[in-house]
Amino acid sequence: MRKLFAAFLCIIMLFLGGCTKEEQSVSGTPEDNLIVVGFSQVGAESEWRVANTESMKSALSEENGYMLIFDNARQEQENQIRAIRMFIQQGVDYIVFSPNVETGWNSILLEAKEADIPVIVIDRYIEQQDRDLFTAFIGADFYKEGEIAANWLADFLKKRGRSEEPIRIVHIQGTIGSSAQIGRTAALEEAVRRHPNWEIVAQECGDFTRAKSYEVMSSILKQTKDIDVVYCENDGEALGAIDAMEEAGLQCDPYSGVIVISFDATRLGLEYTLARKIALNVECNPLQGPYVDETIKKLERGEPIERIRYIDETYFDFTSITREIIDSRKY
């Protein structure tokens, strides 16, 4: 009955709210045997995010036993809180969300807890005052990703006989306050502290988008072109920074120009890695839908779950990437 009510209410609210199809959607019909999941997605800022949304939609499909209420928060935490509150009012069975930023979730998660609705946090982590505010986390260890990048850089510079040389780094950050930015930034800053010859000469926010990164990189290049490394916190930012550098006459090449480091390892990012424009691409796996499905099904059967689950990730550099790897890539 609760599910029928949820389904009915969400359809009414979609119509009353005047939301566009891209912002909200409902898949599945209001049948009592479907598991109703409300999913609040950060937005559609990157190829990674689009792949993440598709993975969730295909894993939580009607054929797989779900009715999915999808909400796109368009990068606003306020929109995510509103969507989660709506899911609570609708009486969904599970709430899944990918938090835009790390802080500010305690009150709304308390509301979900009081309504007895399990919450699964995906992709990015949250700061929590109370450990019981969510049931499970499935996502990436962003600090570890950053450490992989920093260690690779140290190793590469050593092999090139450049370990003692001054290394001037431009750092393009992701959405400030997101755990993806916090982890990747912390790992780089920590590595800079360990290497007295490394220096961050500019640090700007590229918001995980190609357009913003192009804009900030273009303005950095007006101040200096003396750059050894550009550390971008996702593929979109790397592409935007490369566009700006090439336009300014700089070459992106680990042997004869700027060393570009990126995260995500999307198909397009890997094309740039094969072309040696991106020297290193650290994978961040967006295909999290099947893990969420598995967790929910276990909870439904009353089985124990892994509360914090970091998804396995690898990395590709310009020496290890191949055409076969790119062609077999799912995102």
Classify residue 70 by its DSSP letter.
E
Minimal CA–CA distance to 140: which of 316, 315, 283, 43?
A: 283
Give, as ranges, the residues between 171 and 200 that touch ligand AHR (CB under 6 A).
180
Give, as ranges, the residues between 278 and 297 that touch ligand AHR (CB under 6 A).
284
Nearest distance in Å: CB 178, ligand AHR? 6
- For ligand AHR, give the closer residue by CB, 91 or 206: 206
Binding of residue 168 to ligand AHR (CB under 6 A) = no
Tell me how crowded residue 53 is: count the other CB atoms within 10 A of its CB: 20
Binding of residue 316 to ligand AHR (CB under 6 A) = no
User: What CA–CA distance (Å, rounded) separates 140 from 183?
Assistant: 10
Binding of residue 45 to ligand AHR (CB under 6 A) = yes
The contact mask relative to ligand AHR for 111-150 (x = CB under 6 A, - = no) is ------------xx--------------------------
Nearest distance in Å: CB 170, ligand AHR? 18
User: What CA–CA distance (Å, rounded) separates 122 from 96?
Assistant: 7
Burial status of residue 143 (CB atoms within 10 A of its CB: 0-12, 13-18, 19 or more): middle
User: What CA–CA distance (Å, rounded) separates 198 from 228?
Assistant: 10
- For ligand AHR, give the closer residue by CB, 46 or 273: 46
Give per-residue burial for 214-236: e unless 16+ CB within 10 Å, then b.
bbbbbebbeeeeebbbbbbbbbb
- For ligand AHR, give the closer residue by CB, 173 or 234: 234
User: Taking CA 169 as the corner, what is the angle to CA 167 and CA 171, rounded to the nearest 5 degrees?
Assistant: 165
Give, as ranges, the residues between 204 and 243 that touch ligand AHR (CB under 6 A).
208, 234
Residue from 46, 80, 273, 285 in contact with ligand AHR (CB under 6 A): 46
Nearest distance in Å: CB 263, ligand AHR? 5
User: What CA–CA distance (Å, rounded) separates 310 from 140?
Assistant: 5
Nearest distance in Å: CB 267, ligand AHR? 13
Are the C-beta atoms of residues 13 and 232 closer than 8 Å to each other?
no
Residue from 3, 35, 49, 273 in contact with ligand AHR (CB under 6 A): 49
Structure tokens at 36: 């109703």
Structure tokens at 249: 């006459």
- How many residues contact ligand AHR, by CB under 6 A? 12
User: What is residue 263's three-state secondary structure?
Assistant: strand
- For ligand AHR, give the closer residue by CB, 28 or 236: 236
Nearest distance in Å: CB 140, ligand AHR? 7
Cβ contacts of 162-167, under 8 Å, gap ≥ 24: 163/197, 164/197, 165/197, 166/197, 166/199, 166/228, 167/195, 167/197, 167/198, 167/199, 167/228, 167/229
Nearest distance in Å: CB 244, ligand AHR? 18
Rounded-to-10 torsion of CA 109, 111, 112, 114: 120
- For ligand AHR, give the closer residue by CB, 285 or 295: 285
Give, as ranges, the residues between 249 and 268 that touch ligand AHR (CB under 6 A).
263-264
Nearest distance in Å: CB 287, ligand AHR? 12
Question: Angle 47-59/267-274 helices, nearest 10 degrees?
Answer: 140
Nearest distance in Å: CB 228, ligand AHR? 23
Nearest distance in Å: CB 11, ligand AHR? 30
- For ligand AHR, give the closer residue by CB, 134 or 208: 208
Binding site for ligand AHR (CB under 6 A): 45-46, 48-49, 123-124, 180, 208, 234, 263-264, 284
